[in-house]
């Protein structure tokens, strides 16, 4: 029998995994066709993109050298974060193997034939839409008749006589059960599952909504199609049995908690995790219109330590902005009620906001942030990424709203970039830049080191949270911060990265890439927690800056608030080093009771030992990742853990 043709499948992922769900589906479905399984041999290459392309390229090169056949197929799954990396690998493949067939599929490249099938592009075929059936048909056609794909629905390809040919769309898969489970099928090796910290999984496909910034799995505005409960149960049991000690399951569904079936799965997963005796966390995109179902699913999962919190997706709280985005949020009074319910259940609830949507100004966005804070929520702010195949990225929207964007580093400069909106007709560039400052100021100041004083200034003097945050952003951006040079330098470095055209500003400390402020946030928190005497000076200076806004001058209690805030930061610092070790204070018992941010440990009359309440610090997507990564124990141990893995030495900045 002749040698099977090699079919390489590549996923440069942002997860820490070698188990790629899309590649597993492609292979498992293709192998249901004996014509494919008998004639192709599959090789999957799934690596984390932050390690660059060399590990994948080395594997591919070795395999190419071992195969005699020059006709080999290379299928790449694409999202915005890996398109450039995939193109780079594809070019290298074409250099050593000009006869290779390069196939690109996935969200980012669907319907992008005109830009991706140019003469100098290494890509030969694009799969438009859902991949399993199309890719299988394409492999069958290639084996039988070579690179003429006119009879294969759902592709665009370079045709020697006709230029770029796009065939009729392939109908969506109604019955997801026709795709065998790559877990149960043995498509992934047991070793690769065990070694993967992250595993992507899917309960359903589709989303009935059509938000203008989203192209979720190419299935927005569609009915939801589900895998059977039986299959999900078998898969989850298998994953739990094979997984390593700590595993995160990344649910790629668009709206978890939207249906009764999701609630059923939550109970099922709780049972499976309990029996497995492993730490398994679920990271989910919760349903946009949070309902009682979300509440029930969240409760059961949180109780079993399977989630760290719930995300309420608001994106904007401005009705005009939402209208342009084709989006209707839940009524705000219902949102407030949900916040209260989650608080009563002690389930952290984050509110996702996107800064820069058409129709939004810096001020209107700030008002939304304040609404979230006042409702007791924790705002998490994302920049607006203009994704292919979304309405925001259409020529009409770009034109109508005078949208300007800039390619910026997402994870790896030049290999993993994102197209970020930097201005539109209601948002001048300078205001956008300030919004990026707000993005880090909210978690660092409101969520971290000034929460108590900001609350006091608000409740005792009526200062607006938005005004305070705006002042703090401008104060740091303008280079006025003097008391903590290292903090000031990191903040300015963060701003300079967003402001820089090529967005790479190397420092001796090694922050070479923006990574959307991830390293900066951790560095700011670290340098505050590392030196409490310096932190106290920083807090005093920022409190003075806020108090300068008061027409009646600083109140009598001002110095005490600043001292109390410094005490909290000292307690955080202590906790980050010694796991919530109690700290000595000379505040009176009644003062501590009045301010109420700490738990008493001991009262010795003249002094007290206190421990900080673990919910004092709120979360951003960045530290959220760390919390999950370190088992979601609590925020303070998260800071402790972050201390040891921080990718840089902040003292050398």
Contact footprint for ligand SF4 (CB under 6 A): 207, 209-211, 214, 216, 220, 254, 288
Q: Minimum CB separation from ligand SF4 for residue 105, in Å?
A: 20
Q: How many CB atoms lie within 10 A of CB 279?
A: 17
CB 491, min distance to ligand SF4, A: 31
In 3D, which of 357, 438, 414, 416 has the Cα closest to residue 390? 357
Beta-strand pair 225-226/204-205: antiparallel
CA 21 from centre of chain: 18
User: Got the DSSP string for 32-67?
Assistant: TSHHHHTTEEEEEEEEEGGG-SHHHHHHHHHHHHH-
CB of 212 to ligand SF4, least distance (A): 9
Nearer to ligand SF4, 91 or 210 (CB): 210
Strand partners, 41: 6
Shortest distance in whole angstroms from residue 210 CB to ligand SF4: 6
Shortest distance in whole angstroms from residue 206 CB to ligand SF4: 9
Please provide the DSSP assignment of 402-466 as one string.
T-EEEEEEEEETTTEEEEEEEEBTTB-HHHHHHHHHHHHHIIIIIIIISHHHHHHHHHHH---HH
- Cβ closest to ligand SF4, residue 23 vs residue 254: 254
Instruction: Give least dist CB 85 to ligand SF4, A.
Output: 24
* Min separation Cβ 288 and ligand SF4, Å: 4
Spatial contact of 431 and 361, defined as CB atoms under 8 Å apart:
yes
Of residues 211 and 384, the one with the C-beta less far from ligand SF4: 211
Residue closer to ligand SF4 (CB basis): 125 or 214: 214
- Provide, rounded to whole angstroms, the least separation between the CB of residue 388 and ligand SF4: 14
Nearest-10 crossing angle of helices 451-461, 532-547? 20
Here the tokens at position 252 are: 């790629």
- Spatial distance between the Cα atoms of 435 and 501, rounded to a whole number of angstroms: 17
Cβ proximity to ligand SF4: between 107 and 156 the closer is 107
Q: Which is nearer to ligand SF4, 289 or 614 (CB)?
A: 289
| Distance in Å from the first CA to the final CA of the chain | 62
Closest approach of ligand SF4 to the CB of residue 325, in Å: 9
* Alpha helices by DSSP H, 550-588: 558-578
Shortest distance in whole angstroms from residue 549 CB to ligand SF4? 37
SS3 195: helix
Q: For ligand SF4, which is the closer residue by CB, 140 or 211?
A: 211
Write down the least CB distance from residue 389 to ligand SF4, Å: 12
Nearer to ligand SF4, 47 or 288 (CB): 288
- 188 vs 216 by CB, closer to ligand SF4: 216
C-alpha of 6 from chain center: 34
CB 158 within 8 Å of CB 126: no
Are 454 and 468 spatial neighbours (Cβ–Cβ below 8 Å)? yes
Is the distance from CB of 535 to CB of 569 less than 8 angstroms? yes
DSSP string, 270-313: HHHHHHHTSEEEEE--B-SS--HHHHHHHHHHHHTTS-S-EEEE
Cβ-based nearer residue to ligand SF4, 284 or 495: 284
Judged by beta carbon, residue 19 or residue 324, the one nearer ligand SF4 is: 324
Q: Shortest CA distance to 4 belongs to which of 151, 139, 112?
A: 139
């Amino acid at each position: 029998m002749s040698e099977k043709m090699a079919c390489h499948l590549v996923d440069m992922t942002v997860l820490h995994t070698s188990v790629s769900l899309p590649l597993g589906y492609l292979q498992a479905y293709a192998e249901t066709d004996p014509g494919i399984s008998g004639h192709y041999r599959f090789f999957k290459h799934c690596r984390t993109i932050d390690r660059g392309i060399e590990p994948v390229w080395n594997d591919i090169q070795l395999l190419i050298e071992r195969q005699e056949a020059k006709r080999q197929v290379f299928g790449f799954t694409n999202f915005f974060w890996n398109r450039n990396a995939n193109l780079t690998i594809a070019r290298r493949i074409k250099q050593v193997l000009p006869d290779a067939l390069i196939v690109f599929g996935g969200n980012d490249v669907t319907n992008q034939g005109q830009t991706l099938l140019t003469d100098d592009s290494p890509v030969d075929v694009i799969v438009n839409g859902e991949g399993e059936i199309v890719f299988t048909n394409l492999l069958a056609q290639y084996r039988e008749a070579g690179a003429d794909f006119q009879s294969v629905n759902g592709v665009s390809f370079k045709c020697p006589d006709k230029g770029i040919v796009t065939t009729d769309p392939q109908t969506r898969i109604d019955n997801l059960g026709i795709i065998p489970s790559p877990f149960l099928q043995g498509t992934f090796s047991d070793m690769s599952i065990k070694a993967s910290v992250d595993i992507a999984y899917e309960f359903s496909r589709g989303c009935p909504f059509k938000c203008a910034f989203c192209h979720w799995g190419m299935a927005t505005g569609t009915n939801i199609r589900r895998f059977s409960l039986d299959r999900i149960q078998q898969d989850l049991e298998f994953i739990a049995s094979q997984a390593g000690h700590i595993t995160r399951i990344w649910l790629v569904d668009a709206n978890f908690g939207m249906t009764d079936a999701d609630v059923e799965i939550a109970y099922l997963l709780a049972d499976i995790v309990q029996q497995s005796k492993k730490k398994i966390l679920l990271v989910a995109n919760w349903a946009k219109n949070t309902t009682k179902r979300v509440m029930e699913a969240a409760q059961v999962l949180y109780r079993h330590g399977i989630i760290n919190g719930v995300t309420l997706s608001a994106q904007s709280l401005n009705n005009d902005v939402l209208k342009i985005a084709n989006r209707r949020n839940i009524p705000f009074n219902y949102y407030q009620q949900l916040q209260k319910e989650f608080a009563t259940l002690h389930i952290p609830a984050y509110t996702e906001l996107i800064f820069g949507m058409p129709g939004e100004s810096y001020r209107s966005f700030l008002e939304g942030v304040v609404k979230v804070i006042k409702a007791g929520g924790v705002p998490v702010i994302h920049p607006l990424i203009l994704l292919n195949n979304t309405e925001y990225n259409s020529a009409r929207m770009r034109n109508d709203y005078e949208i300007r964007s800039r390619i910026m580093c997402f994870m790896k400069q030049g290999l993993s970039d994102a197209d970020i909106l930097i201005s539109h007709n209601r948002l001048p560039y300078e205001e956008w830049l300030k919004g990026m400052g707000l993005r880090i100021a909210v978690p660092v100041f409101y969520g971290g080191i000034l929460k108590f004083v900001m609350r006091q200034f608000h409740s005792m003097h009526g200062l607006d949270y938005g005004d305070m945050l705006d002042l703090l952003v401008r104060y740091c951006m303008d280079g006025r911060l003097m008391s903590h040079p290292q903090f000031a330098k990191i903040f300015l470095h963060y701003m300079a990265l967003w402001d820089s055209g090529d967005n790479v500003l190397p420092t001796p400390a090694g922050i070479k890439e923006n990574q959307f402020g991830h390293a900066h946030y951790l560095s700011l928190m670290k340098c505050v927690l590392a030196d409490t005497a310096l932190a106290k000076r920083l807090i005093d200076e920022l409190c003075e800056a806020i108090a300068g806004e008061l027409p009646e001058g600083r109140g009598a209690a001002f110095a005490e608030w600043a001292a109390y805030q410094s005490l909290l930061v000292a307690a955080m610092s202590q906790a980050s080093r010694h796991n919530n070790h109690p700290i000595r204070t000379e505040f009176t018992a009644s003062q501590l009771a009045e301010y109420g941010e700490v738990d008493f440990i001991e009262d010795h009359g003249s002094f007290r030992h206190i421990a900080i309440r673990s919910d004092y610090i709120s979360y951003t997507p960045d530290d959220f990742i760390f919390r999950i990564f370190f088992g979601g124990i609590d925020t303070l141990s998260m800071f402790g853990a972050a201390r040891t893995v921080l990718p840089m030495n902040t003292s050398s900045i």
